[in-house]
């Protein structure tokens, strides 16, 4: 897409991290913005910040895993602007860190609901509009975890592999039909956002802390602080937003943000091609230090 000024971008997970960085970057191009997020206070703050900088933006509190809420999001966008041109299916959570055999049904459903159903609903409600007008671009946020597999976070890996696969299929469908609509799949390495804080089920489903076990509480807080310190050193969301803007303009499909995991991706492909068993892997954070 060459002409971005005055066009409409919808960004899920737009209240924070990469989604908010996309919004700021698109606003600088004169785009009109719709931010959708489940966290109302953060959404209000993001919309207020963009408005104060002169952007045309509004927020819709939306749980992307909820089909009816995504229908309402589409209706709100069309009521306000009458069209949509760029759709960033970006909302996501880390999901539970528990080993696969310990995961509860609720933990699986939460991560799959946000990371996979959110993207599916985004396609269901917005892609027909883009295809009918034969113009626009879709950006699905996956992860390097969609091209690799490490020790732990299996719901996250599962959803991100699925988002890569879905995006590839849509790419082929658009190409085969001669559509002018473009699609990219964003596969970041580690980026400095709040993502690592989304490992606990939200709201009433959250596990209660073991308040009588001071040592366990202190250890959990120490792990959280180490994780925050680790993420603070990672790539900035603003750099990722530049990559996304360029892809919308040039129709690039695979978007890799950091090369730290290219070895692990190449090794996985080699193991598959040669029929070898997967080589030993640490956690995602341990593997990042290998790069």
Ligand X SMILES: NC(=O)c1ccc[n+]([C@@H]2O[C@H](COP(=O)([O-])OP(=O)(O)OC[C@H]3O[C@@H](n4cnc5c(N)ncnc54)[C@H](O)[C@@H]3O)[C@@H](O)[C@H]2O)c1
List interacting residues with ligand X (CB under 6 A): 12-13, 15-19, 37-39, 42, 62-65, 90-93, 114, 141, 143, 188, 190-191, 193-195, 198
Report which secondary-structure segment, H or E, holds 237: helix 237-250
Those residues whose C-beta lies under 8 Å from the C-beta of residue 243, and which sit 6 or more positions away, are 186, 255, 257
Backbone phi, psi, residue 36, to 5°: -120, 130
Given the residues 81, 156, 171, 254, the one annotated as active site = 156
Query: Could you tell me the smallest distance in angstroms from the CB atom of residue 178 to ligand X?
Result: 30
Beta bridge partner(s), residue 59: 35
CB hemisphere CA count around 235 (13 angstroms): 20
Query: Could you tell me the smallest distance in angstroms from the CB atom of residue 69 to ligand X?
Result: 8
Residue 254 appears among annotated catalytic residues = no
Q: Whose Cβ is closer to ligand X: residue 5's or residue 194's?
A: 194
Q: Whose Cβ is closer to ligand X: residue 37's or residue 107's?
A: 37
Query: Could you tell me the smallest distance in angstroms from the CB atom of residue 171 to ligand X?
Result: 19
Q: Whose Cβ is closer to ligand X: residue 194's or residue 251's?
A: 194
Q: Whose Cβ is closer to ligand X: residue 75's or residue 219's?
A: 75
Q: How far is it, in rounded angstroms, from Cα 128 to Cα 211?
A: 50
Write out the two tokens for 153: 């976070």
Query: Could you tell me the smallest distance in angstroms from the CB atom of residue 49 to ligand X?
Result: 14
Write out the two tokens for 242: 């530049």
Q: How far is it, in rounded angstroms, from Cα 50 to Cα 57?
A: 7
Q: How far is it, in rounded angstroms, from Cα 29 to Cα 10?
A: 14
Beta bridge partner(s), residue 37: 61
Query: Could you tell me the smallest distance in angstroms from the CB atom of residue 186 to ligand X?
Result: 7
Q: Whose Cβ is closer to ligand X: residue 67's or residue 180's?
A: 67
Q: How far is it, in rounded angstroms, from Cα 2 to Cα 180?
A: 12
**Which residues form the catalytic set?**
156
């Amino acid at each position: 897409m060459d002409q971005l000024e005055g066009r409409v971008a919808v960004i899920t997970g737009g209240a924070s991290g990469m989604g908010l960085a996309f919004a700021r970057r698109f606003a600088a191009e004169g785009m009109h913005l719709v931010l959708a997020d489940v966290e109302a206070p953060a959404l209000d703050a993001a919309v207020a910040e963009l408005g104060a900088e002169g952007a045309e933006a509004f927020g819709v509190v939306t749980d992307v895993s909820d089909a009816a809420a995504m229908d309402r999001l589409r209706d709100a966008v069309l009521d306000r602007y009458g069209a949509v041109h760029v759709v960033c299916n970006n909302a996501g959570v880390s999901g539970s860190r528990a080993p696969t055999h310990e995961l509860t049904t609720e933990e699986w459903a939460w991560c799959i609901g946000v990371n996979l159903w959110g993207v599916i609903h985004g396609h269901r409600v917005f892609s027909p509009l883009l295809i009918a007008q034969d113009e626009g671009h879709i950006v699905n946020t996956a992860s390097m975890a969609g091209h690799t597999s490490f020790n732990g976070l299996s719901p996250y890996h599962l959803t991100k592999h699925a988002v890569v696969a879905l995006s590839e299929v849509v790419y082929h469908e658009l190409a085969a039909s001669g559509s002018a609509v473009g699609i990219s799949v964003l596969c970041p390495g580690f980026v400095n956002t709040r993502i690592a804080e989304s490992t606990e089920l939200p709201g009433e489903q959250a596990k209660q802390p073991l308040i009588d076990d001071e040592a366990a509480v202190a250890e959990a807080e120490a792990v959280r602080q180490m994780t925050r310190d680790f993420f603070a050193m990672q790539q900035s969301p603003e750099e990722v937003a530049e990559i996304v803007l360029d892809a919308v303009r040039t129709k690039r499909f695979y978007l890799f943000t950091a090369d730290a995991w290219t070895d692990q991706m190449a090794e996985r492909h080699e193991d598959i091609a040669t029929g070898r068993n997967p080589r030993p892997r640490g956690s995602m954070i341990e593997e990042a230090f290998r790069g």
